[in-house]
Amino acid sequence: MFIDEAVIHVVGGDGGNGCVAFRREKFVPRGGPSGGDGGDGGSVTLVADRGLNTLYPFRFQRRFAAGRGGHGKGDNCHGKNGVALPVSVPVGTVVKDRETGEVVGDLVEEGQTLLVAAGGKGGRGNARFATSTNRAPRRADPGTKGDQLDLALELKLLADVALVGLPNAGKSTLISAISAARPKIADYPFTTLVPNLGVVSWERFRTFVAADVPGLIEGAHEGHGLGIRFLKHVERSRLLVHLVDAAALGDADPIAEAEKTVATIEHELASFQPELAARERVLVATKDDAASPAQVAAVAAAAARRGLAFFAISAAARHGLGALVSHLGTRLDALAVRADATHGKEAVP
């Protein structure tokens, strides 16, 4: 089951108390203070794990507590430190303070860690307080409390390419044709209820990840249809593939219908996040085997007016897929080179 939001409670371990003790041995008069320090409490950390792709496990366990530190003992024995608790979360998880909404961290790389609840410090034993004027201190510090926090976890899928469009535009059929993903495919709206990821091979030993995002409708940024719940999964994608069902355009005025269809998705993306409207996009006419030349040409005209790359495909008939996949892979490579060059310039003092 795909779950992309969860709330958890994390608790750092309390520090152990310091000890008040005195050395008492035969033939050792005035042995002095020998109380040891308490151990530090364990901390809770979140660890990004590429083996996870959902927050579903957090439906069953929501409280995560690290071990508390042991108390100090006599003979200057230090208390045992509490056991730290690493918690695995999917790569792409955004961590927020549930109360304030402040972003605590964003785990976008495999193995990345985030400290979310620090353990308390162990208290000092009375041996720490011995001085030349106070040789028998009867004072020890208690351990401090560990942090406690309610966290809101939000998963944003990490995909190179996001497939967007109205319901039944052919997104699920396309991702099933170019990858090993097997989403549900049917001829009714909102067949796809959760995003699907697929690994696409485009050259020998070269791949990229594509995400099939549930269909968007007018008002999606306001929560209509599946709304903003899944629009957030488009944010991290470097390329957008905008699919238009060419066969669904009316024969009377396909150009006007194509323009309206494309503009609807553009408006929803821009309303949700303005930067998405400026992201590189490819316009694709789907189901061209069932569409008329005029319908396909209407989508091509909409792409030309926007200066977008255009492809006509039929995922069911496996037509036009090779050219589309090759273009996406080539553009992703170019974007990666550009990003590396930009980071290199920023690193120069």
Structural domains of the chain sorted by starting position, each given as residue range(s) with its CATH number in brackets: 5-155 (2.70.210.12), 161-347 (3.40.50.300)
Beta carbons within 10 angstroms of residue 267's beta carbon: 16
Confidence of residue 76 (pLDDT cuts 50, 70, 90): very high
Q: Could you give the CA distance from residue 85 to residue 70 in angstroms, rounded to a whole number? A: 16
Residue among 105, 234, 51 at smallest CA distance from 158: 234
Token pair listed for 55: 């927050």
Q: How far apart are CA 46 and CA 112, in angstroms?
A: 8
Which strand (E) or helix (H) includes residue 264?
helix 254-272
pLDDT surpassing 60 at residue 132? yes
> Whole-angstrom distance between the N-terminal and C-terminal Cα of the chain?
48
Starting at the edge strand found earlier in the chain, the sheet holding 44-49 runs 85-90, 44-49, 113-117
Give the pLDDT band of residue 349 (cuts 50, 70, 90): very low
Helix (H) or strand (E) holding 163: strand 161-165
In whole angstroms, give the CA distance from residue 289 to residue 246: 10
Please give the pLDDT value at position 117.
97
pLDDT classification of 187: cutoffs 50, 70, 90: low
Residues 6 or more apart whose Cβ sits within 8 Å of residue 208: 160, 161, 199, 200, 202, 328, 329, 332
Per-residue pLDDT at 13 exceeds 60: yes
Amino acid at 327: H
pLDDT in tens, 191-228: 455 677 788 888 877 888 888 887 676 654 455 545 45
Structure tokens at 280: 């590189």
Residue 218, Cβ density class (10 Å: 0-12 exposed, 13-18 middle, ≥19 buried): middle
Range in 61-75, 125-139, 180-194, 263-277 with the lowest mean pLDDT:
180-194
Q: What's the whole-number average pLDDT of the chain?
A: 86
Query: 10-42: string of b/e by CB count within 10 Å (b at 16+)?
Result: bbbbbbbbbbbbbeeeeeeeeeebbbbbbbbbb
Q: Look at 44-53, 222-231, 301-310 and tell me which has the smallest mean pLDDT.
A: 222-231
Cα dihedral across residues 127, 130, 135, 141: positive or negative: negative
Task: Report whether 12 contacts 117 (CB < 8 A).
Answer: yes
Under the banding of pLDDT at 50, 70 and 90, the label for residue 275 is confident
Helix (H, G, I), strand (E, B) or coil at 60: coil
Structure-block tokens of residue 146: 């560990």
* pLDDT score at 246: 92
Task: Report how many helices (DSSP H) and strands (DSSP E) the chain contains, helices first.
Answer: 6, 14
Characterize the bridge pairing of strands 239-245 and 161-165.
parallel
**Which contiguous run of DSSP H or E holds residue 270?**
helix 254-272
Residue 128, number of CB atoms within 10 A of its CB:
17
Structure confidence at residue 346 as a pLDDT band (50, 70, 90): very low
Half-sphere exposure of 151 (CA within 13 A, CB side): 32
Percentage of the residues of the chain whose pLDDT score is greater than 90: 52
pLDDT tens figures, 135-185: 899 999 999 999 999 999 998 877 889 898 888 888 888 988 988 767 655
Structure letter (DSSP) for residue 166: S
Task: Check residue 82 and report its DSSP letter.
Answer: P
Q: What is the pLDDT of residue 228?
A: 56
What is the distance between the alpha carbons of residues 105 and 96, in angstroms, rounded to a whole number? 7
Length of the chain: 349
In angstroms and rounded to an integer, the radius of gyration of the C-alpha atoms of the chain is: 29
- Please, what is the angle between helix 321-347 and helix 171-178, to 10°? 90
CB atoms < 10 A from the CB of 282, how many? Answer: 19
Count Cβ atoms within 10 A of the Cβ of residue 151 and give its class: 0-12 exposed, 13-18 middle, 19 or more buried: buried
Q: Is the pLDDT of residue 277 over 90?
A: no
